[in-house]
Amino acid sequence: INLIAGGDINPQPMIGEDTANAVPADERTYFEIVMGKPVKPLTDEELRNRVIYTNLIGAGVIALWGTAFWDYFTTAPVAGDEGWFGSNAKYGGADKLGHMYSGYLFSLGFSSLFEYWGMDEEESLSYGPLTSLVIHGMMEVGDSFSKSQGFSYEDLIMNTLGAAFYYAREKYPAVKEPLDFRLEYFPDFNSDQDLFTQYDSMKYLMALKFSGFESMQDTPMKYFEFQVGYYTRGYEDNDVYSTKERVVYAGIGINSSEVLKALGWT
């Protein structure tokens, strides 16, 4: 059996009544099975049920992870005043951009998953960001029961901004074609910080891609982009940094997507 194509020289009977559009159950790849690819096209009700289950499972995973690693449910509900990007903020504001990026990334991931299951693009564009907000909302509820965290309205705002940016980017080509929101991350595997909060190893940036402008698409300028980013250093227990730094930077970057296209990648 070809595990990539999932092929079988003797296909088995289809599962499900809709045999015209069904996929043989034993011809799905391992990836398709893990991702829950339907054996037959799902009805609208079945798709929405999957969205509900996804939200419930996601919230449950957050609750379990937070209980294990983020001291959830160890105190009565409290609110935390974390500040925004000030020098006295816990991470100098890097965590706020982390929440925005997470809101964006979760929206992208869940929208893609729902579309993979058969939901039409317009619906998945709404349900993905909403699922992101539910799961991040659960995270804030858990934070409110944490001695080290506390409920943060700033985080909630940034989660919402990330989901809204995803929606606007996918809805309007004029936003998507020239603009990327990115994370640069080189994990420190010797750090005591978990992989999600190693802000000394992260940079967040917006890239304005010149290839997104029609006037530059047939010129060498399409290989370049203008970047604006933000990062902090020294806000964690890290022997490498003796002082705290908050850095805003700008620069010209190489649009690697366009370079790969020019080399024949599709």
Distance CA 103, CA 229 (A): 18
Q: Tell me: the pLDDT tens digits for 137-154?
A: 988 888 888 877 778 889
Q: Smallest Cα–Cα separation from 135: which of 62, 52, 65, 51?
A: 62
Q: List, for residues 212-246, the tens digit of each pLDDT value.
A: 999 999 999 999 999 999 999 988 876 778 889 99
Given this model, what pLDDT does residue 4 score?
Answer: 36
Give percent above pLDDT 70 in the chain.
90
**Contact at 8 Å (CB) between 212 and 183?**
no
Distance from CA of residue 162 to its chain's centroid? 9
7 has which bridge partners?
Answer: 2
The pLDDT value given to residue 90: 84
Q: Nearest-CA neighbor of 119 among 135, 134, 130, 103?
A: 130
Torsion angle, alpha carbons of 156, 244, 249, 173, to 10: -20
**Across 120-124, 183-187, 192-196, least confident range:** 192-196
Out of 3-7, 85-89, 198-202, least confident range = 3-7
How would residue 256 be classed by pLDDT, with cut points 50, 70 and 90? very high
Q: What percent of the chain has pLDDT over 90?
A: 55
Four-residue CA torsion sign, 163, 169, 175, 180: positive
